[in-house]
Amino acid sequence: MSTTFKGESDLSAWLDRHHVSRIRTQATDLDGFALGKYCAREKFLKALPIGHNLADVSLGSDSKSTPHLGFWHNFRQGAIGDIALMPDLETLVPDGLESDLGHVICDFTQLDGSPISLCPRTKLKTLEQQLADQGLSVKCTFEIEFFLFNNSYADAARKRYQNLSPVGASPLETIYFLRDSFHAAPFMQKVLDRLDWYGIPWEAWNDENGLGQIELNLAPTTPTEMADRVVRAKQIIFETAVQQGLSATFMAHPKEGFSNGMHVHHSLLKEGVPQFFDPTARNRRSPLLIHWLGGLLSTMEASVSYLCPSPNSYRRLREFAAPPVTATWGEENKSTGIRLICDAPKSARIEHRVGAGDLNPYLAMAVILAGGLVGLSDKKPPPPEFTDLGWGIPDSVPRLPADIMSAAKALQAATKLRALLNPEDVDYWIKSRRHEWMLFHRAGIDPDSPIPSQWEFERYFATV
């Protein structure tokens, strides 16, 4: 039974029916952090349709909530002022655990309700609209990976994130191992119950390769709705871990040799009909697919900045460590940047494998759609399909940016991608990455080590 407000019109009646007296607002900042307030029902209703205020630096702060003092965006006030969180009532759901609590996803807006293009959710909606203007829509899903530990967050911090006890049966780094899954099942059952309550369909979960690592697959939907589901699912995983005295982390690289990725599967549709599979075309690949792939590949180097947002993300991009290191593609090739699946009309899709576990799903999907749009505009084919293993290959095959500043420079140079994503917003993003890079190095961290630093654990373990 769906309990969401979506499809209804009488908000008060819905709040009464679900006994909701408090609403938690949630918006996503540049670093992918969930921000918001707990509002009394009266306050929430009174502030509609624009929503309640919050400080403008909430969208202009780093991952430690330190305001961005060293660069500027025009959405900000001359001193420190307010902006608003505009609720998208289509996303309103009851909590499921706390009987009087509801949740709603919001966009950052100006106080008069006008959009702020820098807002990640607003940006993704803009890109979706650009596709809609061409008669196209997107179906997508994200693979969510995380590590689950028997230690509480407080205990993990006390142990300085070292020697934590992973949830699982085996000290071996197994995958799909049902005995490990069985250990995680009580936790995951609570997570899945809440996903069901929120109206977030899921498809499967399994034991992943790292000790205590789990992968969760959500059912595909449109990009903005999917990104909403991802941020909610991550919040649910975090809250369930807290309630059970465990800890879960989506850090891109929490352990030497093992990482959390967030692969993005997507396909294009026209009037609801999938467009990638063409039985009459060579290798059954439609011209639209070829052009879309061409755009994704030509912009992949620049897109890494959004797909791998933190210094920690780049510890993941190592040869033979599972994540891709080249801007390559291949059908059923999981070692390339893009894996193409094109064996049937309905399942034909692209799996974009570059994304790190700490990416912002709105911005990641936006940069992927922008890359595809570049391809539809340029109508150029991708480079030849890569059929070999994508690691350990000669230096003549260019590697993806291997650090946060190289990725930022590649994005800076990508004129078409920048234009689609709004140059001022891209510049602000690049400055924010430079800021993160400076803080990383200010802490005196060895960037070449495969082992994450204490600074990274303290900054990202419980936050991304």
- The torsion angle over the Cα atoms of residues 314, 448, 234 and 321, rounded to 10 degrees, is 70
Backbone angles phi, psi at 131, to 5 degrees: -70, -40
CB-nearer residue toward another protein: 341 or 439: 439
Nearest approach, Cβ of residue 428 and another protein (Å) = 11
Give the x-and-dash track for 76-115 against another protein (CB under 8 A). xxxxx-----------------------------------
Which listed residue (34, 35, 111, 402) binds another protein by CB under 8 A? 402
Kindly state whether residue 64 participates in binding another protein, applying the rule CB under 8 A.
Answer: no
Nearest approach, Cβ of residue 70 and another protein (Å) = 4
Kindly state whether residue 394 participates in binding another protein, applying the rule CB under 8 A.
Answer: no
Kindly state whether residue 323 participates in binding another protein, applying the rule CB under 8 A.
Answer: no
CA angle 287, 125, 361 (to 5 degrees): 85
Which listed residue (171, 279, 395, 396) binds another protein by CB under 8 A? 395
For 23, other C-beta atoms within 10 Å of its C-beta total 26
Nearest approach, Cβ of residue 389 and another protein (Å) = 22
CB-nearer residue toward another protein: 166 or 401: 401
CB-nearer residue toward another protein: 137 or 412: 412
Nearest approach, Cβ of residue 366 and another protein (Å) = 24
The CA-atom distances, in angstroms, between 286 and each of 38, 141, 275, 310, 380 are 48, 21, 7, 35, 13
Task: Yes or no: say if 149 and 166 are a contact pair by the CB < 8 Å rule.
Answer: yes
CA 202 to chain centre: 16
CB-nearer residue toward another protein: 49 or 444: 444
CB-nearer residue toward another protein: 72 or 182: 72
CB-nearer residue toward another protein: 315 or 349: 315
111: tokens are 């106080």
Total chain residues near another protein (CB under 8 A): 27
Kindly provide the b/e burial profile for residues 138-167, where b requires at least 16 CB atoms within 10 angstroms of the residue's own CB. Answer: bbbbbbbbbbbbbbebeebeeeebeebebb
CB-nearer residue toward another protein: 327 or 374: 327
Kindly state whether residue 70 participates in binding another protein, applying the rule CB under 8 A.
Answer: yes
Nearest approach, Cβ of residue 51 and another protein (Å) = 24
Kindly state whether residue 446 participates in binding another protein, applying the rule CB under 8 A.
Answer: yes
| Burial of residue 411, with CB atoms counted within 10 A of its CB: 0-12 exposed, 13-18 middle, 19 or more buried | buried
Give the x-and-dash track for 354-393 against another protein (CB under 8 A). ----------------------------------------
**Cα separation of the two ends of the chain:** 31
Nearest approach, Cβ of residue 409 and another protein (Å) = 8
The string of DSSP codes covering 414-464 is -HHHHHHH-HHHHHHHHHHHHHHHHHHHHTT--TT-SSPPHHHHHHHTTT-
Which listed residue (13, 48, 69, 219) binds another protein by CB under 8 A? 69
Helix axes 361-378, 287-298, angle to 10 degrees: 120
DSSP H or E stretch at residue 146: strand 137-149
The CA-atom distances, in angstroms, between 322 and each of 22, 176, 220, 313 are 44, 16, 24, 14
Which listed residue (72, 176, 182, 320) binds another protein by CB under 8 A? 72
Which listed residue (18, 52, 68, 263) binds another protein by CB under 8 A? 68
CB-nearer residue toward another protein: 4 or 313: 313
Kindly state whether residue 6 participates in binding another protein, applying the rule CB under 8 A.
Answer: no
Which listed residue (19, 346, 379, 441) binds another protein by CB under 8 A? 441
- Nearest to residue 361, comparing CAs of 105, 5, 96, 56? 105
Say how far apart CA 222 and CA 203 lie, in whole Å.
Answer: 16
Nearest approach, Cβ of residue 89 and another protein (Å) = 33
Kindly state whether residue 415 participates in binding another protein, applying the rule CB under 8 A.
Answer: no
Which listed residue (401, 414, 416, 432) binds another protein by CB under 8 A? 401
Of 37-45, 85-93, 131-139, 442-450, the segment contacting another protein by CB under 8 A is: 442-450
Task: Yes or no: say if 79 and 48 are a contact pair by the CB < 8 Å rule.
Answer: no
Residue 322 backbone class (left: φ over 0; alpha: ψ -120 to 50; beta: rest): left
**Residues contributing to the site for another protein (CB under 8 A):** 68-72, 76-80, 395, 401-403, 405-406, 409, 431, 434, 437-438, 441-442, 444, 446-448
